Structure 1
Amino acid sequence: MVYPQAVAIPFLSIIGICIIIVPLILHIKNKNYTSASILVWFVLLNLFNIINAFIWSSDDIDSWWDGTGLCDFEVKIMIASYVAVPGGLLCVFRSLARVLDTRCATLVPNKKQRWRNRGMEILFCVVAPLLSMATHIFYQKSRYMVYQVSGCINNFDDSPISLALAFIWPPIICLPACWYCGLVLHRLRLYRSQFGDILNASNSNINKSRFIRLFSLNFVMLVLIFPIQCYVVWQNTILSFPWHTYSWSAVHGPEWNTIFKHATSGNAFFDRWVPIAACFLVFVFFGCGKDANELYWSFLRSLGLDRCFACLDPEYSRRTSMDSSTGSRVKLLFNKNKRWSSTSRTYVNTNDTPTNPTTRQSYHDIEKGMPSIRIDDDQNSHPKEKSWFRSFFHRPASSKPSNHERHPSHLSLSGQNIVSTNAWAGLSRSRGSGEFSPSPTKRDFIRVRQEISQESVMQEVV
């Protein structure tokens, strides 16, 4: 009989290993070895799920393989993983807290600091797992047990030594990890406005996006793993009662080499789902970014499938954005051809007295020092009177010059530029008199900001 968990666990474990490879490569590439070590442990545990579910999936205990050699290796690795994963989380949170520590910020850490940081990582990621594997023999009641679907299982002695050497250490290591996690949260809140500057000044190969994703991933892992470890300690302690006095000879007696096999009706231990969930969690945070897409694209390119998945090409999005940017610039260029804009010019009215509805007014071009003449028609040039507030905040676009401005009947122009403007003005005394030439009639002057539309009109002299 085929059980659902006997199919689901190996299938999801295979997917988990596949999707975690790219984040593992990225962590190694960025020299984030503590996070990479955590992912390696998840890969090993998922690999054990695949092997065990395929070998021990049936109910026929008599046909089962006893697992000699394989289970001896698996139980040691599982014992080490119970300590290595919390130790890796501790090192990650410690490194993130050190990045945000402005009191000890240095551009280049000295030799002592480098060795201290490296020593902490080696202690919790290498030495502690090796010690747990070495001390396993003291509380190992038998070589191992074999359960259906779950496969190889550790057998602990019912004595206080199992609690002291095995059960208690994972939650103990999680406690300083929780403290460093809280320290990172405190410093993120404290330096939230200078967060980017602190990362740039620190001697770490990490940016804001990678920092937030790395912290979020390990935070979720810690929130899930710490309660699970506490629950495991509680359950193992309850199941080991009543305790007996520890004795090496009693633990390693004649039955130590006996391998116990148990059928579970297709049910697996809950801890077999932990590495599967962790792989999918890692993929959510580090398997969908720009760096990951570049690795996916390079892999597809090596297989010759780059044309089938062009949307994954990092250059595709860049080309699309460049094309849209180029189109916007072309539109802007055509708009500029329709309307030629130049620098502001200031004209001062030399005639302060009101004139007739159609008058000739003389202006002095302050920018060029050239006089100019304009024909004003109150009825044509000012069809509707606007308030000062509206005219101040509304810059009208350059309009075509009126008929009086284009073809003045009483002027003969030859090869001159006729300039038509829309302008708004305000009385100003803020600048010194040295900037502009004074008005002939008043000491004050008028500042006129304008956009100028210019066209050449050639008219022969009759």
Structure 2
Amino acid sequence: MDSLSLNASGYLAMTARLGFTTTPEVRIGPGPPYTTPSLQVNLFFRVFLGVLGVAITATPARLLWRSGEFAATVFCVVSMVLNTIYVVNALIWRDNNVAEWWAGDGWCDVQTYIYFPLNMAFHAALFEIMRGLAAKVALQRVTSLTPRERRRHGLVSAAVIFACPLLQVTLTFFVILIRYNVSPLIGCTAFYDPDWVFLVFFVLPPVFVTIGASALAGEFSCLSVLCFLIRALAD
């Protein structure tokens, strides 16, 4: 047996242990009945809450974009995209009949490369929102930003939000272990090599930006209280 066959056999053995492969003959799943009341309830709430999340976020996203709030718009749009993916995955793989499942070719391949970047963009947008609020409170001016300043602010926001996600898209090829796995309701999931690259560029960045957003939120709150006290004393 040549090395290619050995690699293929190893791949099938690994994915079979995970419960699913793109080859129907080697898929492993529970027998009939292929659905349960708890699974149906889970499906209902995943779809209902996901659609609700998209619906209630669409209008704020449009208004924020018109107002020039780039980071907040990205925050809303990423939330809508993630909720849409969750709903579609739940509807496609809504039971345990793995023999009849769609293999997810293309759809899951894309998700493998965008899942972590989308979540990173979500956290980075929140950080940028907090940074922008803190900067506005601390700004010692009464006039609005000039077009050049707004353009520069937009470029800085884009760099803060998208720098790490774009890097993650590139690095996914080097840290992914298998093509993908599929689970009921959850849909496509990827498995990554737990090395230092995955830790530094995928696991830690969302933690750091969330901590940073919390710190900026605290700074924003303190500055807001300080401004309120100054105005109260001035009156």
Q: Which residue of 2 aligns with 1:63?
A: 100
Q: Which has the higher helix share?
A: 2
- Counterparts of 1:25 and 1:113, CA distance in 2: 22
**Deviation for aligned residue 1:94:** 1.2
**Deviation for aligned residue 1:178:** 2.1
SS at match of 1:146: strand
Q: Which residue of 1 aligns with 2:211?
A: 175
CA contact (8 A) 1:77 1:133 kept: yes
- Counterparts of 1:16 and 1:115, CA distance in 2: 30
- Counterparts of 1:127 and 1:113, CA distance in 2: 21
Out of 44, 48, 57, the position equivalent to 2:81 is 44
Q: How many residues align?
A: 195
**Deviation for aligned residue 1:108:** 4.6
CA contact (8 A) 1:84 1:124 kept: no
- Counterparts of 1:112 and 1:40, CA distance in 2: 25
The yes-or-no answer on 1:184 pairing with 2:230 is: no
Out of 193, 217, 232, the position equivalent to 1:157 is 193
The yes-or-no answer on 1:12 pairing with 2:57 is: no
SS at match of 2:228: coil
- Counterparts of 2:174 and 2:55, CA distance in 1: 37
- Counterparts of 1:19 and 1:48, CA distance in 2: 16
1:321-366 Cα distance to aligned partner (Å, 9 max, x none): xxxxxxxxxxxxxxxxxxxxxxxxxxxxxxxxxxxxxxxxxxxxxx
- Counterparts of 1:15 and 1:115, CA distance in 2: 33
Out of 152, 175, 194, the position equivalent to 1:139 is 175
Q: Which residue of 2 aligns with 1:411?
A: none
SS at match of 1:171: helix
**Deviation for aligned residue 1:25:** 1.7
Q: Normalising by structure 1, what TM-score?
A: 0.40
Q: How does 1:18-417 map to 2 (within 5 A)?
A: 18-102=55-139, 104-105=140-141, 107-109=143-145, 113-114=149-150, 116-193=152-229
Residue type of the alignment partner of 2:181: M
SS at match of 2:95: coil
- Mark the runs of 5 or more structure 1 residues left unpaired by the alignment: 197-462
- Counterparts of 2:67 and 2:151, CA distance in 1: 19
**Deviation for aligned residue 1:13:** 1.0
CA contact (8 A) 1:188 1:195 kept: no
SS at match of 1:58: coil
Superposed structure 1 runs of 4+ greater than 3 Å apart: 108-116, 193-196
Change (3 A) 1:18 1:113: closer
- Counterparts of 1:79 and 1:85, CA distance in 2: 10
Q: Which residue of 2 aligns with 1:361?
A: none
From the CA coordinates, give the structure whose radius of gyration is larger: 1
Percent of pairs with identical residues? 22
1:7-62 Cα distance to aligned partner (Å, 9 max, x none): 22012211221222222222112221211111111111111111111111111111
- Counterparts of 2:231 and 2:122, CA distance in 1: 28
Q: Which has the higher strand share?
A: 1
1:184-217 Cα distance to aligned partner (Å, 9 max, x none): 0110111015679xxxxxxxxxxxxxxxxxxxxx
CA RMSD of aligned residues (A): 2.2
Q: Normalising by structure 2, what TM-score?
A: 0.75
SS at match of 2:61: helix
